[in-house]
Structure 1
Amino acid sequence: MSTLRINIVLFGIGNVGSTLVNQVLESQKFFLEKKNIELRFPIITNSTLAFFEKDGVKNQWEANFAQSAIPFKVEDIIDYVKELELENLIAVDATASSDILKNYIPLLQNGFNIVAANKKANTQHLDFYNDLRRIAKKFDKSFLYETNVGAGLPVIQTISDLYYSGEKITKIRGVFSGSLSYIFNRFSSENEPFSRILVDAEKLGLTEPDSREDLSGNDVARKLLILARELEQKVEFSDIKVASLLLPELNEKHSKAQYAINKSLFDKSFNIAKITQSDNHVLRFVGELDLEKNQLEVKLVSVPKTTALGQLKGADNLIEIYTKSYGEIPIVIQGAGAGKAVTARGVLTDILKLAEKIKVKNEVWV
């Protein structure tokens, strides 16, 4: 049986994109032996430059990119793959950009499947969200994005499988942010001021470059929105009730420099929240989708130490899925919900899933 060659056009060679290329190069022999699949990168891009390599990038790809990458438009990429008659195309969006979204539909229309680590497409207005799926269906292409929630954890897949098997999901609740998981896990168990733990999280690279992004709760809200839409809820970002952790005197309106030197202002209010809890309770920052009440909320809660959420450690994510069949006992998915290696591996899992789908399609046509 002939080897299936998959051509991947990679947008974004930051942490996730470059890790993905290296993971593929390391495992190429394994994929050939186990799946009879060859993954190639004929084109890799950053925000302004593209490197075109007819035979796919090799181990020295970073040096080659630096030497040979040229300015590009997406039309150039579409023309290039047509000219070389490249088949089995997957566009991988490993950026965090909103600009790239305008290219999704032209890519689908020109033979590309899409795998996105970027969660922006799934948090746009519902009109765009639905258009994307309609176009993908029309052109018989796939759009996969498992890493949008929980990085390498199988959150979206599990929820989708349950929903489309006819299971009634009643509630989804969890800690969706690795940075806020780390901060509150430590704050609940140590006698350290909140601001000191926040600075530690920043130094470890767990937060966004400006940690107000994390503390605003918007990233958790976006993940909640994605899950709600997986369950065919017609909701927009503005429908989510977000209780930001930022203070009026310490929010997005102040300069980054002011924010950096005034973090100790957080300490009093968080310490009050900590000491006024019931005994044997801990603070957790959660996203909650209650389908019976039709509510989406992002908020700080106090939970018993003995619960799954209460026992959370490190920077782990933990998602509880409550369903009619499972009753009061939720399905719990827990593990590293952030990091370039696990995110890249999750993207690679989506790529391989698509490769298997393409293989089946090709066999049907033969």
Structure 2
Amino acid sequence: MSTTINIIVFGIGNVGSTLINQIIEKHTFFKEKFHVDLKIPVITNSKKALFTNTPLSLNWENDFQTLGQSYTIEDVFNYVNQNQLENIIAIDVTANDEIVQQYIPFVQNNFNIVAANKKANTLHLDFYNELRRVLQQNDKQFLYETNVGAGLPVINTIQDLHLAGEKITKIRGVFSGTISYIFNRFGTENLPFSKILVDAEKLGLTEPDSREDLSGNDVARKLLILSRELELNNEFKDVKITSLTTEKIDALSKRNYSISKELFDKEYEIAKITQPINSVLRYIGELDVVTNTLEVKLVSVPENSALGQLKGADNLIEIFTESYGEIPIVIQGAGAGKKVTARGVLSDVIKLAKQIKKQNLVPIV
């Protein structure tokens, strides 16, 4: 018999809508392969929610527009209770703080959580620890593999190593697909930094204001998440960030910034031509576990090194451990994109669904 898993989706942007379509398209596969019946009774964005008792079709976006209604979180809880929904997974594919503030109420209302949203794992340690206390108290799960590396198995690998007693000494790498694309091209092509940055914007690889990518804050958040996986009690302020922008560039209005990208060119051309021969620039995050230092910085690496050979918009994370010595475990692949991120979220959902099914099959003594 199949176990019904009820999925409440918060956020229907690029990743959220892709995820919903993936669930619909693979529904039969999951039911036959794992005996889990994935249902989506609630879909929300920041303004409206669609509540439905019928299976979604690939035309769900039309239904959302015509049948969606304004809502509060309490409306979601009431709907779940009134319809006696069980085996609930709340999926957060937003980037806002409001949903994160509901994580503890979610758990207290019998929800498990899967999140692409990084906020819950980078807020103050008091919240971080309280969430985990409530999860344990209520026997619920919180999975967030896509917080670092999108669809890459970075967090699971680090968790498995740490729980097995392996001493991780250092983690470093290129954690941003956007920045990877820019410097991978900048290292091999005779083009100004500004031209490649504009290309990245046109391809949709950056945030609407690319200074958000260039600030280094996103890389810093990922480092912070990994440090906390290793039980290091760090806060965001503990990360030393060398931004790729300058105060002058940051002070520009969005409109003026859009026409002033050449302000980047001189600095990065100098950095390029003054580095050692056969080297390339890479913007990396580095966590030294031994000294508990976290840095986001621009470095020069040999072009024949693992980091130096990166192509496209790939991420590459090196995990150094006591057992492996100077030879790191390397995880490489697409670290951005709506399809791979949605697939990573779905992988967490299936992992959790299988756990729920197994728990439901355990006889009550």
Say yes or no: TM over 0.5. yes
Q: Which amino acid aligns with 2:178?
A: S
CA deviations on 1:297-316 (whole Å, 9 max, x unpaired) are: 00000000111000000000
Match of 1:361 in 2: 359
Q: Distance in 2 between matches of 1:257 and 1:76?
A: 40
How many percent identity over aligned positions? 65
CA offset at residue 73 of structure 1? Answer: 0.5
Q: Distance in 2 between matches of 1:133 and 1:226?
A: 14
Match of 1:93 in 2: 92
Structure 2: runs of 5 or more not aligned: none
Match of 1:316 in 2: 314
Q: Which amino acid aligns with 1:263?
A: K
Match of 2:103 in 1: 104
Match of 1:159 in 2: 158
| 2:258 match: secondary structure | helix
CA offset at residue 360 of structure 1? Answer: 1.2
The answer (yes or no) to whether the contact 2:16–2:342 under 8 Å persists in 1 is: yes
Match of 1:303 in 2: 301
Q: Which amino acid aligns with 1:343?
A: T
Q: Distance in 2 between matches of 1:56 and 1:124?
A: 36
Q: Distance in 2 between matches of 1:29 and 1:14?
A: 24
Q: Distance in 2 between matches of 1:255 and 1:364?
A: 60
CA offset at residue 257 of structure 1? Answer: 1.3
Match of 2:331 in 1: 333
Q: Which amino acid aligns with 1:256?
A: K
Match of 2:342 in 1: 344
The answer (yes or no) to whether the contact 2:279–2:301 under 8 Å persists in 1 is: yes
Match of 1:74 in 2: 73
Match of 2:238 in 1: 239
Pair 1:149-2:139 in alignment: no
| 2:5 match: secondary structure | strand
Match of 1:254 in 2: 252
Match of 1:186 in 2: 185
CA offset at residue 48 of structure 1? Answer: 1.1
CA offset at residue 356 of structure 1? Answer: 0.8
**Segment drifting more, 242-251 vs 182-191:** 242-251
CA offset at residue 55 of structure 1? Answer: 2.7
Match of 1:56 in 2: 55
CA deviations on 1:60-104 (whole Å, 9 max, x unpaired) are: 211111110000011111111111111000000010111111111
Match of 2:5 in 1: 6
| 2:101 match: secondary structure | helix
Match of 2:279 in 1: 281
Match of 2:23 in 1: 24
CA offset at residue 269 of structure 1? Answer: 0.6
Structure 1 stretches (4+) deviating beyond 4 angstroms?
Answer: none
Q: TM-score, normalised by structure 2?
A: 0.99
| 1:245 match: secondary structure | coil
| 2:8 match: secondary structure | strand
Pairs aligned (count): 364
CA deviations on 1:6-57 (whole Å, 9 max, x unpaired) are: 0000000111111011001111111111111110000000111000001332
Q: Which amino acid aligns with 2:35?
A: N
The answer (yes or no) to whether the contact 2:19–2:343 under 8 Å persists in 1 is: yes
| 1:249 match: secondary structure | helix
CA deviations on 1:316-352 (whole Å, 9 max, x unpaired) are: 0000000000000000000000000000000000000
CA offset at residue 245 of structure 1? Answer: 0.8
The answer (yes or no) to whether the contact 1:43–1:56 under 8 Å persists in 2 is: no
Q: Which amino acid aligns with 2:217?
A: N
The answer (yes or no) to whether the contact 1:92–1:116 under 8 Å persists in 2 is: yes
The answer (yes or no) to whether the contact 1:146–1:346 under 8 Å persists in 2 is: yes
Correspondence for 2:267 among 266, 269, 275: 269
The answer (yes or no) to whether the contact 2:232–2:292 under 8 Å persists in 1 is: no
Matches within 5 A, 1:222-233: 222-233=221-232
| 1:234 match: secondary structure | coil
Q: Distance in 2 between matches of 1:245 and 1:16?
A: 27
CA offset at residue 365 of structure 1? Answer: 3.6
Q: Distance in 2 between matches of 1:365 and 1:70?
A: 41
| 1:13 match: secondary structure | coil
CA deviations on 1:202-222 (whole Å, 9 max, x unpaired) are: 000111110000111001000
| 1:131 match: secondary structure | helix
CA offset at residue 254 of structure 1? Answer: 1.9
Q: Distance in 1 between matches of 2:86 and 2:99?
A: 22
CA offset at residue 59 of structure 1? Answer: 2.5
**Segment drifting more, 348-357 vs 51-60:** 51-60
| 1:293 match: secondary structure | coil
Structure 1: runs of 5 or more not aligned: none
Q: Which amino acid aligns with 1:231?
A: L
